[in-house]
Structures are given as structure tokens and as C-alpha cells.
Amino acid sequence: MEEKITQAITDALERAPKRKFVESVDIAFTIKDVDLKNPNNRIKEEIRLPSGRGRELKIAMFAAGEAATKAKAAGIHVITPQEIEDLGGNKGKAKKIANAYDFFLSEVPHMGLIGRYLGVVLGPRGKMPRPVPPTLDPGVIAAGLQSTVVVKSGDKMTFQISFGTAKQSQEELNANAMEVYNRVISKLERGIGNIRTLYIKTTMGPSQMVEVVN
């Protein structure tokens, strides 16, 4: 399977039209014979990519005082607790913030307030903040998230994950793709037997099918 995925990545990169931006490289799964109405069967995995994501992620933190100072020092955008209620009353602005950042962190005391005012915006996007205890440095958590992707099937049989960018080397993309593939397969009862189709593509390029033999 590794050879087939490697070839699909090669084809996807070679056949992608030249763009003025760096495209992501995605892997798309369509699974079968899985009852996704049962939440226990849904796939939700955080995967640390061995070669990183190929781009710098934007991370924000709901914080004040010392935690805000540490966050700013680590290059994390800080949202003050006072802004939470304001954002809750301006859904357009809240959506803009939610879409602008890949991950959110928060001091533990603000989690309830965030759920109340911003849960409706952050929740459906899978971006509810990760609580940061006072003993942990938010910069350390943010550094780990820079190479993290979240794989979510929800109740959909088809789901897609970006595992790198076109500026990364073939070897880096191969390693990332196999990390994602193996983790998804490990979560399916019949492994590859639950995969209907598998595709590799760049953001705007044509999909390259990976032959799945059960």
C-alpha cells in the first residue's frame, strides 16, 4: 500500500496546475460498512505528522495576566476574557476569528464562558479550545500543535485531511501520508476492508485514485 500511496502523491504533484500559492496535499477516505450513526464508530484522531504540516499554523489563546504574557512571547495571538462576551454578541466577527486560527487554547477558568458565548461557533468547526493548566507553558503546547492534524469522520462516510504542502519533499509527504493512513486503518474494525475508495490530491489539482484491494 505504501508504494501505491507514494505513486499517487507523485502523480498528484506532477499533474497539479501551477498556482500562485502553496497548495496543501490531501488524502480523502470513503469508508464502508461502518455505522456512523453510532458515535462510538466515528473516527476522531489527533495525529502528529512526522514531517510537520509544511506551513506555520495560527494559534490563539484566551488568556490574561501571566498566561497572556507567556502566550504572546511564544507568538500566540491572545484574546482577553473581556472579548469573549463581545465576540458572542457579534457572530460575524466570531466566525471570522474562528476561521482565522487553526487551534485555540484557553486558561481553564475561561472554558465555561467560551462554551456559553462561542461554543456555537467554535464547536461545529472542531475548534473548541484546549485547556491549559497554570503549570503548563502554552508555548510548549503550541509547538506540538504545529505538526498536528485532526482526522474527523463525523457522520460522513467520506472525509478528507491535509497532510502537508506541495513545497515539502516526496519523502516528507510519504511519511505523513502513511502516518495518517495507518492511524485511520487502525480505527476500523476490518482495517482496509472498511475502505471503499482512497484518493490523493492537491488543493486545486485532480484527484489520484489509490487502488484498494481487500
What is the structure's pLDDT at 18? 87
Is there a contact between 36 and 159 (Cβ–Cβ < 8 Å)? no
At the top level of CATH, which class does the domain 2-54+149-209 belong to? Answer: alpha beta
What is the structure's pLDDT at 202? 95
Q: How many CB atoms lie within 10 A of CB 80?
A: 13
Domain spans in the chain, listed from the N-terminal domain onward: 2-54+149-209, 59-145
Q: What is the DSSP string of 24-76?
A: EEEEEEEE-S--TTSGGGS-EEEEE-TT--SSPPPEEEE--HHHHHHHHHTTP
Of how many residues is the chain composed?
214
What is the structure's pLDDT at 126? 86
- What's the pTM value of the predicted model, to 2 decimals? 0.82
Best CA proximity match to 62, nearest among 123, 131, 124, 150: 131
Cα–Cα distance measured from residue 150 to residue 166, given in angstroms and rounded to the nearest whole number: 19
The one-letter amino acid code at 129 reads P
Q: Under 8 Å CB-to-CB from 124, ≥6 apart: which residues?
A: none
List per-residue pLDDT tens for the chain, 214 residues long: 999 999 999 999 999 988 889 999 999 999 999 999 999 999 999 999 999 999 999 999 999 999 999 999 999 999 999 999 999 889 999 999 999 999 999 999 999 999 999 999 999 988 999 999 999 999 999 999 999 999 999 899 999 999 999 999 999 999 999 999 999 999 999 999 999 999 999 999 999 999 997 6
Fold exhibited by the domain 59-145: Rossmann fold (3.40.50)
What is the structure's pLDDT at 214? 62
